[in-house]
Amino acid sequence: MDERQALSAFSALSQETRLSIVRMLVVAGPEGVPAGTIAERMNLSASNVSFHLKELDRAGLISQRRQSRSIVYTAGYDALAELVTFLMEDCCAGHPTIRNSVDQQDACCPTSELIEQDDIRA
């Protein structure tokens, strides 16, 4: 994932409705959720949801399939994972040891890639 794609993904996720939709789809799993159900659950108009779904699709964060009359949307786990990777790379760029001071969750950089003492001169 390059900066351009990441920008597109961040833009898509930077809107309340869209972030909620993505989270709903992630929780729903590969089964997905039809557009109408999304609108219903979120109390939004069909056209508004459609607008945001298109935006998410453009960013490659979701995919869709027709199932009878409904169009069922699913989270794009691949794209989300790539975004995580992009962020991690950024987070670690040139300064792998920084991660250690970050938090207790090993959120940034796999431990195996850490360098013992990366002397950073301030």
Chain residues binding its own copies by CB under 8 A are: 3, 6-7, 10-11, 13-16, 19-20, 22-23, 26-27, 29-31, 77-78, 80-85, 87-88, 90-91, 93-95, 98-99, 101-103, 105-108, 110, 120-122
Is the Cβ–Cβ distance between 56 and 17 less than 8 Å?
Answer: no
- Binders in 44-83 for DNA, by CB under 7 A: 44-55, 64, 66, 68-72
Is the Cβ–Cβ distance between 13 and 19 less than 8 Å?
Answer: yes
At residue 15, the 3 state secondary structure works out as coil
Residue 55 interface partner, choices DNA, its own copies, none, CB cut-off 5-8 Å depending on type: DNA
Interface residue with DNA, options 10, 23, 36, 102 (CB under 7 A): 36
Is the Cβ–Cβ distance between 21 and 38 less than 8 Å?
Answer: yes
Compute the C-alpha angle 20/64/76, nearest 5°.
55
Q: Could you say which DSSP state residue 109 is in?
A: S
Which amino acid is located at 67 in the chain? Q
Task: Report if residue 15 touches DNA, rule: CB under 7 A.
Answer: yes
- Binders in 81-110 for DNA, by CB under 7 A: none
Is the Cβ–Cβ distance between 42 and 20 less than 8 Å?
Answer: yes
Question: Which parts of this chain interact with DNA (CB under 7 A)?
Answer: 11, 15, 17-18, 34-37, 39, 44-55, 64, 66, 68-72
